[in-house]
Chain A
Amino acid sequence: MKTVESVPHNYLIKQLPKATALVDTKYSVVEASNSWLSIFDLEPKDTRGNNKNIFGFYDNHEEFSAKTLKECFLENCKHVIRHKKKNKENEKWFESVFVPWFDEKENIIGTIVQTEDITHIIEKELELERTKTLLKATSEVSSVGSWEYDIATEKLNWCEVTKQIHQVPDDFEPKINQGIEFYKQGYSRNKISMLFHKALEEGTPYSERLIIITHKGEEKWVTAGGKAIRKNGKIVKLFGTFQDINDQVLAEIKTKESEQLLTTLIDNLPINVFIKDKDSRKILVNKAECEYLGTKPEDLVGKTDFDLYDEKVAQISRDEDLEVMRTLKPMIGRETINIKKDGSATNFLTSKIPLLDIKGKAYGLIGMSMDITHIKQKEDQLQDLINVTAIQNKKLINFAHIVSHNLRSHTANFSMLLEFLIKEKEEKEKKRIMKMLSHASDNLLDTLENLNEVVDISTNVNLDKKSLNLNENILKVQQNLAGFLVKNKVKFINSVPDNVAVMSVPAYLESIILNLITNAVKYSKPEENAVVALNAKKQDKSVVLSVSDKGLGIDLNRYGGKIFGMYKTFHNNKDARGLGLYIIKNQVEAMGGNITVSSEVDKGSTFNVYFNEED
């Protein structure tokens, strides 16, 4: 090779900006640019490079086989290899391109090698790879797939996850129509067609929950999202996400169903249910509670008992609430009374259960109230009945004792007298005993008559009460007793107004007036003329007839409990039978009234008869 000729070539090649080397057919480096030499760690002046075997340059480089390198020189075509060189601190990637070297006559005289530092490209490639992997992983983990539609090529691209969601094979290549047809016929398909079209035409983004039918025929809930990508203001692509939300939606549906079930249950319970917050404000009410308060739920929420009920009742309820929230102990089945602002009262069986937060502190309570008003009323009626029955029973026992005692005393006499009669031999004494027997028999008859009278009153259930003018009846009795009153020189003072009427059985009214007048006369002071005063007045739901005398009076401390008893007499009076007061008490009570007495010894007595005017 001539030196003169080679210098300009040499010089030219040396200055090439792209790292280039010329290798002859014997694999010796003939010429190399400075940049090429520097890649292989040689100074430009370093002549060691000249005529050196090309393979020696690659000794420090990795990631390629010697065989591959050799092949690059064998065939007369373009070869590319990548190789890496490691330094202490870093590593560098290179790409060497081998092309045949021709002379003017197109004979191959060697190989031109061009080497480029591609470290930054490799880094970018790795970065891209990492990003792709990350994207895939993210997409797989979150079940969010993606798709891309190129408007120009009409090519639709699904990512792996999108394919998995559709349950299609990995090599499936969807067309845009197919994509749409995966959506369930009806709402879902119509909706997606419309949204896709709008995105395509107007670039409107969308995100919608829809149902697809997968390749395997399963129904699935998905969230389909789409967005237009513009280039120079023109929509060129649509990009979107595709997410499997089936489990989520099913869970949501289930939750909604449970909620619905609970609401239906609470609403239709035949008891009032309410939830109150810490300040006893209602935060939830059911239908029964609303109906009871005659309003809508939205009008009740936020209200306290003080807004709805009588203040006293509301305070009791508030105290209960505070107690339940303080002690955290439920109040179960307490009988309560609610009085609304309009005054109507309702009996409830109320339970209050504290509502606890995560820390175990009460933040409110659940209340349940059952209307037991009708049960309560029944209970009261029952109690009344029990009371009446108890009184009746007591009366009956009392009467039974009276009967047994009175009958027994007579029969005992018969028995004793007959025993005497059998043993008696003397005729005179026999006659005396016989006389006594007949007397005893009369007494028994009298007693039976008296008892009959009492039984009549007690058993007469269907009393025929009439409105009777009181004064007319007093006058009638007065006329009947005319002889008796004159004989006893009675001073009769009747102050009963003419218009007073009482509800009474006619015979009973006569009996009551008669007995009270004769009693007053009988127990007058022997040395004084009898005074009988009658008066009457209306009082609440009854008419009171008062009969007063200025007679002997009765020691009520001593005899108060017995005064209306049978056969009780308290004075030495031959006419006293001890029956009159017992009978009229029975008559008055049988008509739903009552009789009282006030008296003072030596001053006189006043009997008050209360006629029941109600029923």
Chain B
Amino acid sequence: MKKINSIYIIDDDPITIFGIKKMLKTTVICKDIKAFENGKAALEGLTKRIHKGASIPEVIFLDINMPIMDGWEFLQEFVNMDVKEKIIINVITSSIDPLDYQKWNDFRLKSPHYLNFKNKPIYKIEASDLNRVNIAS
């Protein structure tokens, strides 16, 4: 099984967090999985982490519709942080609004990170959700 140092799950819905965590258990070995209920909380966690000198999480699962700071706002802040490592960000949403897909595509083109778009419900975590290199090769 693939080893990953750190994974962030950002979603206001505890059931989705439960589901992702459960699915990750069977596909990856990761001792550091953290969940946040909105973008602001995640951003604060991330800043603390950088301050401590720890590495940036390799994979982020990001919901779009959240109170206080939604997925797009988080993504914008994250892009502005100018992180050197290329992170895999899985945007997960139950929205079928084509505008959301369009927004995701805009971010994909301007962001240095790897962005996936996944519609809920999710039944399985794909290898591509965790490792970009495989796809690229």
Contact = CB atoms under 8 A, between A and B. Distances in A.
Contact of B67 (A405, A409, A439, A570): A570
A567 B94 contact: no
B15 A440 contact: yes
Interface in A423-474: 436, 439-440
A318 B60 CA distance: 72
B18 A415 contact: no
A419 B15 CA distance: 13
Interface string B3-23: 000000000010110110010
Interface string B94-120: 111100000000000000000000001
Given A401-B97, A436-B18, A416 B122 contact: yes
A332 interface: no
A420 interface: yes
A417 interface: yes
B15 A413 contact: yes
Contacts of B18: 436
Interface stretch (A365-373, A513-521, A571-579): A571-579
B120 A409 contact: yes
A405 B22 contact: no
Given A408-B95, A436-B15, A567-B67, A420 B22 contact: yes
Contacts of A569: 67-68
Contacts of B94: 405, 408-409, 412
Contact of B120 (A404, A408, A436, A578): A408
Interface string B66-84: 0110000000000000000
Contacts of B22: 420
A576 B68 CA distance: 11
A568 interface: yes
Given A413-B121, A570-B67, A404 B96 contact: yes
Contacts of A415: 121, 123
Contacts of B13: 409, 413
B131 interface: no
A439 B95 contact: no
B95 A405 contact: yes
B40 to A, nearest CB: 8
Contacts of B65: 405, 409, 567
A559 B120 CA distance: 26
A413 B96 contact: no
A576 B66 CA distance: 12
Contacts of A568: 67
B68 A570 contact: yes
B75 to A, nearest CB: 15
B13 to A, nearest CB: 7
A22 B2 CA distance: 178
A439 B18 CA distance: 13
Interface in A496-531: none
A416 B19 contact: yes
Contact of A412 (B67, B68, B120): B120
A420 B68 contact: no
Q: Is the interface of B mostly helix, strand, loop or mixed?
A: loop
Contacts of A440: 15
Interface residues of A, number: 24
B115 to A, nearest CB: 20
B95 A420 contact: no
Contact of A405 (B16, B68, B97, B121): B97
Interface in B10-57: 13, 15-16, 18-19, 22
Contacts of A408: 94-96, 120
Contacts of A567: 65, 67
A611 to B, nearest CB: 30
Contacts of A420: 19, 22
Contacts of B121: 411-413, 415-416, 419
B120 A571 contact: no
Most chain B beta-carbon contacts within 10 A, residue among A413, A570, A572? A413
Contacts of B19: 413, 416-417, 420
Given A412-B94, A570-B68, A571-B68, A417 B15 contact: yes
Contacts of B68: 569-572
A576 B12 CA distance: 13
Nearest to A408: B94
Interface string A60-98: 000000000000000000000000000000000000000
A386 to B, nearest CB: 24
A571 B15 CA distance: 22
A409 B13 CA distance: 9
A415 B122 CA distance: 9
A581 B120 CA distance: 28
Contacts of B15: 413, 416-417, 436, 439-440
A568 B73 CA distance: 14
Contacts of B120: 408-409, 412-413, 416
Nearest to A406: B94
B63 to A, nearest CB: 9
A436 B97 CA distance: 27
A437 to B, nearest CB: 9
Contacts of A570: 67-68
A320 to B, nearest CB: 48
A576 B15 CA distance: 19
Contacts of A572: 68
A266 B16 CA distance: 80
Contacts of A404: 95-97
A404 B15 CA distance: 19
Interface string A557-595: 000000000011111100010100000000000000000
Nearest to B20: A416
Contacts of A411: 121
A398 to B, nearest CB: 10
Nearest to A414: B121
A568 B70 CA distance: 10
21 contacts: A401-B95, A404-B95, A404-B96, A405-B95, A408-B94, A408-B95, A408-B120, A412-B120, A413-B15, A413-B16, A413-B19, A416-B19, A416-B121, A416-B122, A416-B123, A417-B19, A436-B15, A436-B18, A439-B15, A576-B67, A578-B67
Q: Enumerate the 4 nearest inter-chain pairs by beta-carbon distance, A residue then B residue, closest first.
A: A412-B120, A412-B121, A409-B94, A569-B67
Interface of A: 401, 404-405, 408-409, 411-413, 415-417, 419-420, 436, 439-440, 567-572, 576, 578
Interface of B: 13, 15-16, 18-19, 22, 65, 67-68, 94-97, 120-123
Given A405-B65, A416-B123, A570-B68, 17 more contacts: A405-B94, A409-B94, A411-B121, A412-B120, A415-B123, A416-B19, A416-B121, A417-B19, A420-B22, A436-B15, A436-B18, A439-B15, A440-B15, A567-B65, A567-B67, A569-B68, A571-B68
